[in-house]
Structure 1
Amino acid sequence: MNTTNFFLEFPLNFSEIRKLNKMYFEHLFKQRVIFTSILILLLLIFSDFININFEDDFFLWLIRSLGIIVFFVVFENSFVDAVSGITFQIAKRLLRFKNLNSRYKFVFTNSKLCIRFPLGRLTHKWTTIEKAILTKNFLFLYIKEQNNYIISISRKDCRKMEELLTFVEQNVIHIIKV
């Protein structure tokens, strides 16, 4: 097998989408909401800083900024949980539509594996794979990162699993067969 031209793309089935939404994408989405809210907080503080009179308002600006930061820290976690919960409840309902399901895909190339989904995409290099376990129905890829993700790939739906298994076995890591 020529590894320089290796490319496979699998659409995800409904159960894989649910597992990945729950375990993987929800965490990523929370990180994006936190990052966005921190940017908004910094924008508020710096826009307020630009409009102050340094002789009279600097101390008031410091107190106002401290109040905004304390308010942000106190309410940020519940805000992030609420936004993520609502978003993934809507996503769960939208999964009924076939058009949206087709936007979830696994993409495998010679240097990386990628998971595409409607909110973006996640890319991992093959070197981050710690273990590959093959069962009767699934291939599990254990990714060693901050959160130690597990990606499960169903062997059903007439996928080109043999090509993927051959590539992983020869070029990435030994597959443990259970």
Structure 2
Amino acid sequence: MNIMNSSNFSLEFQLHLSEIRKLNKMYFEHLFKDRIVFISILILLFIIFFDFSHINLEADFFLWLIRSLAIIVFFVVIENSFIDAISKAAFQLAKRFVKFRKLNNRYKFIFTDSKVCIRFPLGQLTHKWTTIEKAILTKNFLFLYIIGQNNYIITISRKDYDCRKMEELLAFVENNVTHIIKV
């Protein structure tokens, strides 16, 4: 990878419905699951610390320890069975929101000299250009393969949209990030 200092490079693309669907399936389903796990862990920690604050350390510490261990085991068993159901329900709800034009306008790709950012109604995901392992160009799409804990593919449509400057993006990726494989 050969990232040069191109401090003036900046592009912003509005995502189209097909791109939103692909990103929802890849990124956001996993993101919902991660956020639900994080929130449930915070709840578990709150319960344990709340219980700890109401015990007599000399008399009740061993009982608190056993009770906390039982809560953690119960939590892990219950969480694993419900986490998928909760994240799928949240993801299905998010898929319904995609139908609203006002929310679709909030999905964007933002490319700068140092990062690729995907903005969506619930937040944003950012990847440095150094995490791009491979770039593949087809007739209709540019695929950016991202390495990391969870490997992702960013799919960018090459269809002739008026607001997109695909040639600028392709030139930047080819000259500064990685060789583009043309299929």
Q: TM-score range by the shorter chain?
A: over 0.9
What is the distance in 1 between the residues matched to 2:34 and 2:92? 18
| Aligned pair partner of 1:123 in 100, 121, 126 | 126
Residue ranges of structure 1 left out of the alignment (5+ in a row): none
Aligned-pair identity in percent equals 76
What is the distance in 1 between the residues matched to 2:33 and 2:8? 35
Deviation at 1:39, TM superposition (A): 1.4
Equivalent residue pairs, number:
177
| Alignment-mate amino acid for residue 172 of structure 1 | V
| Alignment-mate amino acid for residue 131 of structure 1 | K
Which segment is superposed worse, 108-117 or 154-163? 154-163
Residue ranges of structure 2 left out of the alignment (5+ in a row): none
What is the distance in 2 between the residues matched to 1:69 and 1:23? 30
| Aligned pair partner of 2:42 in 33, 39, 54 | 39
- Alignment TM-score, normalising by the size of structure 1: 0.95
The 4+ residue runs of structure 1 with deviation greater than 3 A are none
1:13 aligns with 16
2:28 aligns with 25
User: Is 1:109 equivalent to 2:87 in the alignment?
Assistant: no
Task: Spell out the pairing of 1:71-150 with structure 2 (5 A cutoff).
Answer: 71-150=74-153
Other structure's SS at 2:144 match: strand
RMSD, aligned α-carbons:
1.2
What is the distance in 2 between the residues matched to 1:151 and 1:78? 30
Larger RCO: Structure 1 or Structure 2 (Cα < 8 Å, ≥ 6 residues apart)? 2
